[in-house]
Amino acid sequence: YRDAGRIGSATTYNAAKISLEKFQPGVKFAHVVPSFLESYESWMLNQGNSKTTVGIYLRSLRSLFNDAIADGDLSKEQYPFGKRKYEIPTGKNTKKALSLQEVGLIYNYQPITGSPEIKAKDYWLFLYLCNGMNVKDMALLKFKNLKGDILEFERAKTARTKREVEPIRVFLNEDSREIIARQGNKDQDREGYIFPILTKGLTPQREMELIRQTVHVINNHMKVIAGKLGLEKGVTTYVARH
């Protein structure tokens, strides 16, 4: 995964590996039976982890089982997942959304001139106005993705899939275009990034670090803005998405 530039997936698999080996040092495929997985789930929850985390780690492990069976290294009888065996837990997926009135408060909020709140608010609103775009896709946008009033791009999430994927098309209203003019790079080279988050020639690892840093900065400043506006809900990039 690292060689393919899929740093997020590599990080997830590595975290799952460390967790499983902490639960049972030297763990091997032969150890992983339904009772083992049930004990691991209980251990993880007792350690303060969520069911979502358990699910993420065990889906990684399940993928390894599928690969090993496909390669002929394991028999299908050794597969511990599924009905009447062990079923991976799913976390409760609560969609977090703001009301239009709450979004209006953020839209009309006036940050102090020259403060970092300006960029954070602009980025947050851009994500919201662009149909709930995520930060990684925003960071990867290039000027060649601009087609007049339409922003056309392929999601990073689907860029490596082999099937035909319809590109995402987002209408840019006046506010979106103003944010690009205000926060975007002034050198509008077609192959250049729209926003000054990434630069050419970065390793996938460094790209991921800068994107995560951007998420962190936006969320921190939006938390302050939400506090000033008296909003009790979290105002994160995830919330902009919903």
Residues 187-237: tens digit of each pLDDT: 989 999 999 999 999 999 999 999 999 999 999 999 999 999 999 888 999
- Rounded CA separation 132/32 (Å): 39
In DSSP notation, 108-165 reads: H--PPTT-THHHHHHHHHHHHHTTS--HHHHHH-BGGGEETTEEEE--GGGTT-SS--
Query: Which tokens go with 38?
Result: 């049930």
Helix axis angle, 7-23 to 34-46, nearest 10°: 100
CB 126 within 8 A of CB 182: no
For the chain, what percentages of helix, strand and coil (3-state, to nearest 5) are there? Answer: 55, 5, 40
Q: What is the pLDDT at residue 161?
A: 61
- pLDDT tens digit string along 72-100? 999 999 999 998 999 998 866 666 788 99
- pLDDT tens digit string along 166-187? 889 999 999 999 999 999 999 9
Over the chain, what is the mean pLDDT?
A: 92
Q: Is the pLDDT of residue 162 over 90?
A: no
Mean local confidence (pLDDT), 30-45: 95
Q: Given pLDDT bands bounded at 50, 70 and 90, which one contains residue 156?
A: confident
- Rounded CA separation 136/141 (Å): 9
The pTM of the full predicted model, rounded to 2 decimals, is 0.72
CB 227 within 8 A of CB 109: no
